[in-house]
Structure 1
Amino acid sequence: MHKQIIFNLPVKDLNKSQAFFSALGFTFNPQFSNDNALFMNIVDGSIHAVLSTEPFFQSLINKPVAKAKEANEVVICLSCESREEVDSLIAKALAAGGTTPHPPEDHGFMYDQGFEDLDGHLWNLVWSEQQFS
């Protein structure tokens, strides 16, 4: 079995979060989903997120759930195939109700922009001429 990245995010409303991320083209696996959590495929076979209701997420940890609209512990960064893919995903995020915390940054060899999802989680989309490794 190959390695995968699976991270968990607390959300206020599973239905709204599912609609938001579906608008970005992410899919959901019903086999690993229920009324408390949705298993989201970001990059099939390798990167996934579990969107959990805040009460369910709280049951998994022994400290308070961070309020992502007030403070952030992490920025989720996804590499993209092109500048156009960055711009396309940002446009979809904005159309689905997300916001952008800063304008695009163009360094010539690297291009990025971020969005904030409905719950305040920060996502950064980046294209680079070179692979990150």
Structure 2
Amino acid sequence: MPRMIFVNLPVTDLARAKAFYTALGFVNEPRFTDDTAAAMQWSDTIVVMLLTHDKWKSFTTRPIPAPETSEVMLCVSCDSREEVNRLADTAANHGGKADVNPSQDHGFMMSRTFTDPDGHVWEPMWMDPAMASGEGPAPEIAH
């Protein structure tokens, strides 16, 4: 069985969060969804678990970060530059906010960021397949 990642996110409005992630292309898995949580599958190995605040608090006593803070930035690979742009633009058009951090474009790799309606930060990124496989020349990255 391949390793999978289940990203657990506290949300203030479960229905709104499900609609947002559906717009991005996630698919609800009803076997793991109820009034307190929703499993939103993005690929065979990536599932986002949307949890109401009460459900979240049943797993941890740690505080839920305020929406304007950054606890993590979830970077996900995309197949093209166009997919990166589509995800960020779709997020902005469905209750999220695009480009909360500066866009990055190094030619061989580019990324943008967006937040979901609860302020969770995502970073879709694309990398030239030759660079990703090690077949391309080593890039010079400005520091």
Q: TM-score, normalised by structure 1?
A: 0.92
* C-alpha deviation, 1:62, in angstroms: 2.1
**Who is 2:76 aligned against?**
78
Equivalents in 1 of 2:96, 2:40: separation in Å?
18
The number of equivalent residue pairs is: 131
Alignment RMSD (CA, Å): 1.5
1:6 maps to amino acid: F
Query: Of the two, which has the highest radius of gyration?
Result: 2
Report the equivalent of 2:17. Answer: 17
Deviates more, 1:52-61 or 1:91-100: 91-100
Q: Give the whole-Å Cα distance in 2 for the aligned partners of 1:112 and 1:36.
A: 32
The answer to whether 1:34 aligns with 2:34 is yes
- Which letter does structure 2 place at the counterpart of 1:56? K
**Among the aligned pairs, what percent are the same residue?**
40
1:4 aligned partner:
4
- Correspondence list, 1:112-123, <5 A: 112-123=111-122
Q: In structure 2, do the counterparts of structure 1 residues 132 and 104 end up closer, same or farther at CA, with 3 Å as the change threshold?
A: farther
Q: Which runs of 4+ in 1 moved over 3 A?
A: none
Which AA in structure 2 matches 1:113?
R
For residue 132 of structure 1, report the CA deviation from its aligned partner.
7.9
TM-score, normalised with respect to structure 2 = 0.86
